[in-house]
Structure 1
Amino acid sequence: MIEMKSSEEIERMAVTGQFVGELLAELRDNAEVGVNLMDLEHHARRRIKERGAESCYWDYAPSFGRGPFRNVLCLSVNDAVLHGLPRDYVLRDGDLVSVDMAVAIDGWVADSAVSVVVGTPDPADLKLIEATEVALEAGIAAACPGGKLGDISAAIGEVAHRYGYGVNVEFGGHGLGRTMHEAPHVPNNGRPRRGMKLEPGLTIAIEPWFCASTDKIKFDEDGWTIRSADGSRTAHSEHTVAITAAGPRVLTRRPAGADRPTIRDEKSAVTP
C-alpha cells in the first residue's frame, strides 16, 4: 500500500532530511586519504545520537544479508556500490567511496547518498559520479504531479545511456516515510508515461547508481556488499523527494556550498 503524506507530514520529513543532508556533507568532507572507514561510521553514530535520531540501518534484516545490519552507514568503496559494510579499511589516494544513510526523527524518515573520490581523482571516476548526479537531477525534474512513475525511471536511464553506462534494475529507488522502504519501487530505467500516476503527497527516494562497464552485480560473502560483476568502479547518488502541487521538493539537499564540485577536463565532458 502506498501512503500519501500530508503537507504537515512532509514538513516533518523535511526536518529529518535537513539533518541527513548536513551529516552527509560532514562525512563527505571527512572522507580523506588516511581516514579509516570506521572513523566515518563512529562519527555518524555520535551525531545521530546527539540529535536524538534513530538509524534505519541498525538491525535492518531484509531477505538478503547475513544477520541484521549493525551499522548506521553503508560505505561502499571502488567496485562496491550498495550496502557496503563499514570495516577496518584506511582510504587510499584515488579511492571512490559512496556514503549512504537513512535516519528517522520523531518517526519520520529521510534517506540520501553521495559519492566522492578521495585524494587524486581519475577523470573516469569523476565522469561516473557526475553521471549519477545528473541522472538524479533528471529524475527529480521528472517527479511532477500528473506525470507517471515511468517518467522518473526513463529520465534516469536516458542519462545513463547518454554517458555510456548500462543500468541494473534489481535495486533502485523506493517509497519512504514512516519506514525506510515503502511502495513504490522506483527503477533506474523504464518507459515514460507508464506506471502509477504521480500525485502530491508521494514521498520517494530517487537513487541512480551505475557501474563503469557492466550492468551486472555480485554479492560479497557477507551477504550485504554489492559490487560490479566485473570489478569496475561504481557510483551512487540519492535524495529523498516529496511530490507537491508546486512540483518536486528535495528534502535532503546538503547545505549550500557543501558539495565538492565535480570537475573534469572539458574535452572529456558529456553535455547533459
Structure 2
Amino acid sequence: MIPIKRGKEIEAMRRSCRLVTEIIEKIQAILAPGITTAEVDQYAAHLIQSYGAKSAFLGYRGFPGNICISINEEVVHGIGGKRKIRYGDLVKLDVGIIFEGWIGDTAKTFPVGTVDVEDLRLMEVTSTALMIGIAQAREGNRVGDISSAIEKYVLEQGFQVVKDFVGHGVGRRLHEEPPVPNFGKAGCGPKLKAGMILAIEPMVNRGTGRVVMLPDGWTAVTEDGQRSAHFEHTVLITKKGPEILTLSEKDIELDCYTR
C-alpha cells in the first residue's frame, strides 16, 4: 500500500521539509578545503539537535553517520571520517531528519572552489533531470513516467544514471512505498494519486553507471573512479501538480532549478 497523506499530515511534512532545507544550506556553508567529513557530520548532528529534530539516518539499518557525505567518485551513503575536503571537490550532502514524527529528506551536490567544466555540466544535468522527473509527478501519471523522463534526459546528455539506488515514498518512515527508479519505461508502475509524497533523487555519473561498495559496507563509488552527482527533492503530488516541499530560496534563484 502506498500511503496517502492528508490535512495535518501534509502540513507536518511541509514543516519537516522546510527545516531540512534550511539545515542542508547551513551545512553547505561550512564546506571548505581542509575540513574533514567527520567534522562536517558532527556539525550536522549539533545543528539538527539544535532545531529539536533527530537524524533520520543515524542507526538506520546500522548506518553510523548523522548525514551522508560523499565526495567525487563516492556516489552515495558516504560516512563522515578522516577524509579531508579539497579544493575542486564535488561534495554530495544527503540529509534526512525526523521532526515532529515526520521525515524531511533532501540531497544536493556542491562544488568546493572551482571545478572543471564537465563537473559543472554533470551537476547541471543531474539537477535538471530531477526537475524533469518532478514535472511528471502528477496525479494520473505513473511512477515509470518519472523514471523514464529522468533516464531519457541523462542519456541524451551523455551521462549515465545509477541503477543500484532509487528514490522512494517518504513520510512517517524514511523509505515507504513506492520505489522511484531513475530509469524505466513510461506508463509503467503504480499510478500516482494526490497525497502521495515521493523522494525523487537521480544519481548521475560521468562515466559508467556501475558502482562498487567500499569495505565499510555503505559507501558506493563509481566503478571507473569518475565523478558522480546527486540531487534530491521531497515532492507532494496534488490535484494541481507537484509541490516541491524541499525547495529553497536559492533553488528558485538558480537557473538549473527553474528551466
TM over 0.5: yes
- CA displacement, residues 16-43 of structure 1 (integer Å, 9 cap, x when unaligned): 0001111111122221222222222122
2:250 aligned to 247, 250, 257, which one? 257
For this pair of structures, how many residues does the alignment match?
257
Pair 1:227–1:57, CA change in 2 (3 A)? same
CA distance in 2, matches of 1:76, 1:262: 24
Partners of 1:130 and 1:19 lie apart in 2 by: 24
For 1:178 and 1:143, how far apart are their aligned partners in 2?
20
The percent of aligned pairs where both chains have the same amino acid is 38
Q: Distance in 2 between matches of 1:161 and 1:184?
A: 24
1:260: Cα distance to partner? 9.0
**Counterpart selection for 1:198 from 186, 192, 208:** 192
Match of 1:180 among 174, 191, 200: 174
Contact 1:126 1:262 in 2 (8 A): no
TM-score by length of 2: 0.95
Question: In structure 1, what residue type is equivalent to 2:21?
Answer: G
Tell me, yes or no, if the aligned pair for 1:130 and 1:262 is still in contact at 8 Å: no
1:171 aligned residue: 165
| Superposed CA offset, 1:171-194 (max 9, x none) | 110011001001110000111121
Distance 1:37 1:259 in 2: 28
Structure 1 Cα separation of the partners of residues 12 and 32 of structure 2: 33
- Equivalent of 1:153, from 147, 153, 162? 147
User: After superposition, where does 1:139-150 map in structure 2 within 5 Å?
Assistant: 139-150=133-144
CA drift at 1:231: 0.4
What does the per-residue CA deviation read over 1:218-246, in whole Å, with 9 as the maximum and x for residues that have no partner? 00000000000010000100010110111
- The correspondence for 2:229, drawn from 209, 225, 235, is 235
User: Does the aligned pair in 2 maintain the 1:146–1:198 contact within 8 Å?
Assistant: yes
What one-letter code is carried by the residue in structure 2 that aligns with 1:187?
A: P
Q: Is the 2:39–2:80 Cα contact (8 Å) retained in structure 1?
A: no
Q: Deviations over 1:78-106 (max 9, x none)?
A: 10011001112221111111000111111
3-state SS of the aligned residue for 1:189? coil
What's the counterpart of residue 106 of structure 2? 112
Q: Which amino acid aligns with 1:168?
A: V
Match of 1:8 in 2: 8
For structure 2, the 5+ residue unaligned runs are none
Shift of residue 167, structure 1, vs aligned partner? 2.2
> Quick check: 1:145–1:200 contact (8 Å CA) kept in 2?
yes
Unaligned regions of 5+ residues in structure 1, if any?
62-67, 264-271
Contact 2:36 2:80 in 1 (8 A): no
Q: Aligned Cα RMSD in Å?
A: 1.6
